[in-house]
Amino acid sequence: MHVPQDGEDLAGQPWYHGPLRQKAETLLQQDGDFLVRASGSRGGHPVISCRWQGSALHFEVFRVALRPRPGRPTALFQLEDEQFPSMPALVHSYLTGRRPLSQATGAVVSRPVTRPGPLRRSFSEDTLMDGPARTEPLRVRKWSSSQPADLAHMGRSREDPPGMGASTMPVSALPRSGSEPVLLKAPASLGTIANSLRGSDGQLQAKAPTKPPRTPSLELPDVPERPSTYCELVPRVPSVQGTSPSQSCQEPEAPWWEAEEDEEEENRCFTRPQAEIAFCPADAPSCLLGPQNRPLEPQVLRTLRGLFLEHHPGSTALHLLLVDCQATGLLGVTKDQRGNMGVSSGLELLTLPHGHRLRLELLERHETLALAGALAVLGCSGPLEERAAALRGLVELALALRPGAAGDLPGLAAVMGALLMPQVSRLEHTWRHLRRSHTEAALAFEQELKPLMRALDEGAGPCDPGEVALPHVAPVVRLLEGGEEVAGPLEESGERLLRTLHGARQMARLAPKFRKVAAQRLRGFRPNPELSEALTTGFLRRLLWGSRGAGAPRAERFEKFQRVLGVLSLRLEPDR
């Protein structure tokens, strides 16, 4: 069997279906059936969809971009550990070797679901394969026309002779619209010039990809009489009358987490604060929850489960780092916020008297994330393997968050809080199955993660910028809010108290360095909007307690949910 290499056409593979979206699950009829599609929310990156044990599973393929060198591929593809020079090579290995796509699910692919006809080459395949762009003339459409243009007929019109009113444009550079960044490579007369994105979400690169332009170039038409398709894109060509080519090209905007810090702002001294500041974004319309929702809606939980299964633990860790940096006030702080709080970073603010509101929000976030992580295990009412796989997923996420990896210590503390919660730690059969079926993860939890978390809580763990992007703030926040008593003998508790206060001073002093490290970790990262929302404090609060219960007092909410988790734990493994 011939295995195509990186430069060969992915669209020529019979098991590749392009952007199927919701139709993928209907094509998977029996266990072992699989296909490869382009993700609708991940910039067209490949996703393997398969049916296993009666359920449709989706696995994101991690793409690692390489520097171009003669004799080696331009990218590597991987699911868990092993890397392959092309997507067809990865599929061939897992199909012929009958190996599970992931150790957590044990899903094995055996029968490819072939598409019924040829697949039109699109932006996703060109970006994925890094192939040369095909150039075909693109006719500029008149604004009076409201009909969508099919990419197959986007050359010169049949009525016009060649060369009249046409300009050349690579068809492969035409992206879809929606949640993906819109990149368009066009001549100066058509407006903006940009390059296609390279690399996958969650993968840091030596060189950041080009950012998207401010003006959207393409959009899906809103035509109710006929359903929209992937190929139906309407070019939005900005007016260029009286505008020079240099004026028509705008500088791409950087994401807010990549915006460079003003040196004057970074080195500013403390000024009198104007108001208490918090950084959790205000409740905005949710793409996962309706305006009113009940606690723990089953459909939302299923959507979240599929969303997390599609993402590699390293990608999820970067999503969590991004949201944590925003909630802590390390990245994305506006000039007005700096003026109001008197300092330049939330790491400084939380050590000051007027950081009371920020400290309460950070405590809320830590405890809410821990409860959500525990629910991911205790909500598995299926076979024992399902709960063990959920434990393994949390352990792998914790490893991706630890110092030297993503370096998100607040996220690590929340995940470890879920694993060490009494309702989870009492599941003896589940932990025994984890040690038997996923020995490596169990050893990493016992020998690496638990000692690391103990050292961090005692103020003796790693805290230097470089291996850590966001320091462990929970001990000092609890101490300053009076929510934790330093237990133990007087001498030991005194030393621990001094270490916590010293760590807080170091954290505030080194805030600019932590900011630079976090920005470097996230450089080139393009998050999934749904996953980013699912990790915010506001979304998790509504998910766990509903839109009405989210406004109840914090102590009352957490006490009730602890009882809910206790009931779930006893149902899974009753006391003997």
Q: What is the pLDDT of residues 511-521, one digit of tens each?
A: 999 999 999 99
What Å distances lie between residue 215 and 127, 148, 191, 237, CA to CA? 21, 20, 9, 10
460 vs 497: CA distance, rounded Å: 11
Q: 554-572 vs 356-378: helix axis angle to the nearest 10? A: 20
131 vs 274: CA distance, rounded Å: 55
Report residue 420's pLDDT band, with 50, 70 and 90 as the boundaries: very high
Residues 373-392 as b/e (b if ≥16 CB within 10 A, e otherwise) read bbbbbbbbeeebbbbbbbbb
Residue 536's identity, in one-letter code, is T
Q: Which residue has the higher pLDDT, 166 or 16?
A: 16
Report residue 64's pLDDT band, with 50, 70 and 90 as the boundaries: confident
- Mean of the pLDDT values across residues 141-156? 40
Q: Which residue has the higher pLDDT, 281 or 463?
A: 463
236 vs 273: CA distance, rounded Å: 46
How does the average pLDDT of the chain come out, rounded?
A: 76
Identify any residues that bridge with 36 across adjacent strands, giving them in sequence order. 16, 48
321 vs 68: CA distance, rounded Å: 29
Report residue 494's pLDDT band, with 50, 70 and 90 as the boundaries: confident
Q: Where on the phi/psi map is residue 18: left (φ > 0), alpha (ψ -120 to 50), or beta? A: left
572 vs 379: CA distance, rounded Å: 9
341 vs 155: CA distance, rounded Å: 56
The per-residue pLDDT for 283 is 61
Nearest to 108 by CA among 118, 98, 117, 97: 98
360 vs 280: CA distance, rounded Å: 11
Ordered by where they begin, the domains of the chain are 5-65+72-112 (3.30.505.10), 298-572 (1.10.840.10)
Residues 477-507 as b/e (b if ≥16 CB within 10 A, e otherwise) read bbbbeeeeebeeeeeeeebbeeebbebbeeb
**Tokens linked to 355:** 């950081």
Query: 552 exposed, middle or buried (CB, 10 Å; 0-12, 13-18, 19+)?
Result: middle
Residue 518's identity, in one-letter code, is A
Query: 3-state SS of 182-249?
Result: CCCECCHHHCCECCCCCCCCCCCCCCCCCCCCCCCCEECCCCCCCCCCCCEEEECCCCCCCCCHHHHC
Q: Phi then psi for 62, rounded to 5 degrees?
A: -80, 130
Q: What residue has token string 């505030």?
A: 508
Q: What is the DSSP string of 460-473?
A: -S---BTTBSB---
Report residue 351's pLDDT band, with 50, 70 and 90 as the boundaries: very high
**pTM above threshold 0.85:** no
Residue 229 pLDDT more than 80?
A: no
Q: What is the pLDDT of residues 433-454, one digit of tens each?
A: 999 999 999 999 999 999 999 9
Question: Mean pLDDT: which of 9-23, 250-264, 466-480 is highest?
Answer: 466-480
C-alpha 469: how far from its chain's center?
17
Report residue 253's pLDDT band, with 50, 70 and 90 as the boundaries: low
Total number of residues shown for the chain:
576
Q: What is the pLDDT of residues 289-344, one digit of tens each?
A: 888 999 999 999 999 988 898 888 999 999 999 999 999 999 988 888 888 888 88
* Enclosing H/E stretch for 307: helix 298-309
Q: What residue has token string 């997390």?
A: 308
State the pairing for strand pair 135-139/166-170: antiparallel
The per-residue pLDDT for 183 is 41
Q: Which residue has the higher pLDDT, 239 or 327?
A: 327
Q: What is the DSSP string of 72-134?
A: S-SEEEESSS-EESSHHHHHHHHHHHT--S-TTT-----EE---SS-----HHHHHHHTPPPP
The per-residue pLDDT for 141 is 41
Min mean pLDDT across 34-43, 237-246, 417-426 is at 237-246
304 vs 14: CA distance, rounded Å: 30
Q: Across the chain, which distance is largest between two alpha carbons, in Å?
A: 91
Q: What is the pLDDT of residues 103-142, one digit of tens each?
A: 778 889 999 998 877 765 544 444 444 444 343 444 444 4
Q: Which residue has the higher pLDDT, 283 or 55?
A: 55
